[in-house]
Amino acid sequence: MSQDFDITQVYLKFLEDDQDMTMPIAAIESLVTMLRIKQPSTSSELINLVKSNTDKLKSSISNAISLSAGCDLFMRFVLRNINLYSDWESCRRDLVENGELFVQRAKESRSKAAQFGLPFIKDDDIILVHSFSRVVYQMLLMAKKEKLIRFRVIVTESRPSEKGYHMASLLRTAGIPVEVIVDNAVGYVIHKVDKIIVGAEGVAESGGIINHIGSYQIGCLAKTNNKPFYVVTESHKFVRLFPLAPDDLPNQISPVLSATNSSINAILESESDNPKSLLSIQQIDFTPHEFITALITDLGVLTPSAVSEELIKIWYD
């Protein structure tokens, strides 16, 4: 069993079995499962196992931003705890148990972030939402169901993934008034919007966010029109990256998941003489910190500059 263990398959199985599971949590779950199955006999073997499986995950999954955050957090967790024990057996057992506790706390962070965001939603608000985010959806759902706040939501279509339709469908099922607009219409509706709320694939050291393509231009429009731009995200998505421009992302994470856009890719490949074959598809961009009003996280409401302080606490305390 241990010889046949494939961490990529385990990771994908976690995501398939639980549609609400985020990538960093699935990565940590996979690493904990690996330790439980492989049962390393020395601390050196354990560290090498975690490192090799982490590298394999990062290289085999195209959208490795938030995944990388989860892997790096788990590696930090292992390095901080491995030297606390004199008995190796108890060390290995406690690492697996504490790893499972770590995963449980990470899962709870979504509802914590949503709770912190509730005071930002007021009666009669018109909220612009970009793409689909589980934590943004949970916050809006709690505002509707628990606080009985009346508000409307405008969702961008979010091409090329078109995840905005999924977000709109969930909101409509929850009884929240919602409409979908094409991405190009953000400037057309921004004057009547009270605030913009987005999620994030990752939060960089500078406090900027890596998110679905189009987030940067919405941030620019929000700042020009003096509209608050809030990011709701979990702290386990804080990554040690420092992009300097919207397209300044590591090469291995720039071409994000094309599997969700297989129909478009099929058209482009089958019709090489079609003008659409010239289309370049990007799925993520980086929004600098100066366009972000606040980050609503499970740690509380943070200014973008506070992200680096939190990363220092995580990695060096």
Instruction: Determine contact, residues 28/99, Cβ cutoff 8 Å.
Output: yes
User: Could you tell me if 233 and 214 lie in one domain?
Assistant: yes
Would you state the structure tokens that stand for residue 52, as one six-digit string? Answer: 């090799």
Cα separation, 270 vs 265, whole angstroms: 9
User: Could you tell me if 123 and 106 lie in one domain?
Assistant: no
**How many independent structural domains does the chain possess?**
2
Give yes or no for a cis peptide into 160 (omega within 30° of 0).
Answer: yes
Residue 1 lies in a domain: no
Task: CATH number of the domain at 60, please.
Answer: 1.20.120
User: Could you tell me if 122 and 93 lie in one domain?
Assistant: no
Residue 22 has a pLDDT of 85
Would you state the structure tokens that stand for residue 140, as one six-digit string? Answer: 């809006």
Tell which of 90, 110, 130 closes a domain.
110
Residue 247 has a pLDDT of 78
Residue 313 has a pLDDT of 81
Could you tell me the strand order of the sheet in which 284-287 lies? 202-203, 209-212, 284-287
pTM greater than 0.75: yes
Residue 188 lies in a domain: yes
Residue 230 has a pLDDT of 98
User: Could you tell me if 103 and 186 lie in one domain?
Assistant: no
Residue 2 lies in a domain: no
Q: Which residues contact 168 (CB under 8 A, 6 or more apart)?
A: 153, 155, 178, 179, 180
Q: Domain of 227?
A: 114-316
User: Could you tell me if 236 and 286 lie in one domain?
Assistant: yes
User: What is 57-94 written as a DSSP string?
Assistant: HHHH-S--HHHHHHHHHHHHHHHHHGGG-S-HHHHHHH
Would you state the structure tokens that stand for residue 71, as one six-digit string? Answer: 């892997």
Block means of pLDDT (10 residues each) for the chain, 317 residues, are 77 88 87 87 86 89 80 84 74 77 82 96 97 96 95 96 96 97 96 97 93 95 97 92 82 46 51 66 90 96 91 75
User: Could you tell me if 67 and 199 lie in one domain?
Assistant: no
Instruction: Determine contact, residues 281/159, Cβ cutoff 8 Å.
Output: no
Tell which of 95, 110, 125 closes a domain.
110
Instruction: Determine contact, residues 62/253, Cβ cutoff 8 Å.
Output: yes
User: Could you tell me if 118 and 264 lie in one domain?
Assistant: yes
Residue 256 has a pLDDT of 44
Q: Is 214 left (phi over 0), alpha (psi -120 to 50) or beta?
A: left
Tell which of 56, 86, 110 closes a domain.
110
Task: CATH number of the domain at 259, please.
Answer: 3.40.50.10470
Q: Which of helix, strand or coil describes residue 297? A: strand
User: Could you tell me if 95 and 135 lie in one domain?
Assistant: no
User: Could you tell me if 302 and 181 lie in one domain?
Assistant: yes
Q: Radius of gyration (Cα) for the chain, nearest Å?
A: 21
